[in-house]
Structure 1
Amino acid sequence: MESREPIKISVLGSTGSIGTQVLDVVRRLGPDSVRVVGLGAQLNAELLIEQAREFKPELVCIGEGKLCERVATALEGTGVSACCGVGGFDELATLPRADRIVVSVAGTPGLSPTLKAIEAGKSVALASKEVLVAAGHLVMDAAKRNNVPVLPIDSEHSAIFQCLNGENGRCIEKIFLTASGGAFRNTPKEKLAKVTAEQALAHPTW
């Protein structure tokens, strides 16, 4: 049987909840199935350094410029290159060897690397809902133009994607999302009537 080349991935937001789960999956599958070629984090330099030593990507990026020297010094002699600043995420998103880019950067900072990855012809595994909320039309237009898949990998948008898999999307008129969490998840029913708009909007809205 002919062996397949491992999928090569770059993980933006590798030290966060989704990023660490992605790397757990990589560990289980092993390097014959998936290899990490890029890792990026905003602030957690220590965990990023640990991940770089374990997975030995070709490039890591720390978003906070003040931490760049710490990361670069720690990785001297490992063969792992380091860059810093949010522009470095664009570099991670366009690594020539990467087949798929995992974007789990919190908020809209994930938009630029998402678009850069798509324009470079990389498939995108997207955990950042805010990217689609803020600029979904730009992202999906770019994906269609470049014939690049955008795969949702977190929470509600992934659940919808999985439910629609194999179905005819043209037959679906509406989709209802239930409130699975939120600021009032544990609030007794008798107190919900007194909730203010300010309290409700203190929770992320999209």
Structure 2
Amino acid sequence: MRFIYSIFLFFMFQLGFAQKESGAKQFWNTLKQHCGKTFEGTITAGATPNDPFVGKKLVMHVRSCEENRIRIPFFVGDDKSRTWVLTFDNDQIQLKHDHRHEDGSEDKITQYGGKSPNSGLPNIQFFPADQFTADLIGYASTNVWWITLDEKSFSYNLRRIGSDRVFTVTFDLLKPIATPEAPWGWKE
């Protein structure tokens, strides 16, 4: 009987009926492959002449990869205040924005973001604003962030539903750059 069951499992696997990793898990594992690497980005949507990101060097550093948490500092020129914090839990990913002052203390607007409503796809994860964000920043209650990821690029995106607000910065994963100093408030 065991032999027949083993053959059954073998054929089910060969036919693709075996359970594959979820979209969230595949996305997570792909992102972890970039741990320790640093990439330069460009604004690919939503830039305005008075945007504080325009004309600045944009850098992401996949600095810390733990089993269920990945931290990615995002530098805008000399401003090292931002870190994207991704947490994997129960087959969903949460995105939080950790904002710090130069002395390492938390900004009053920090830890906002959202959690994916489902496991998503291997190359894209959506994060609608959570209740904490709505309470902290009322106008951001309709924010939706998403990250796209493939073998060539990583993009961080923001859309404020009901407005013209959109922002995308895209990083070239084929061209790692030198590792920057730690972000503000970083503790190993």
Normalising by structure 1, what TM-score?
0.27
With a CA cutoff of 8 Å and minimum separation of 6, indicate the structure with the bigger relative contact order: 2
Higher helix share: 1
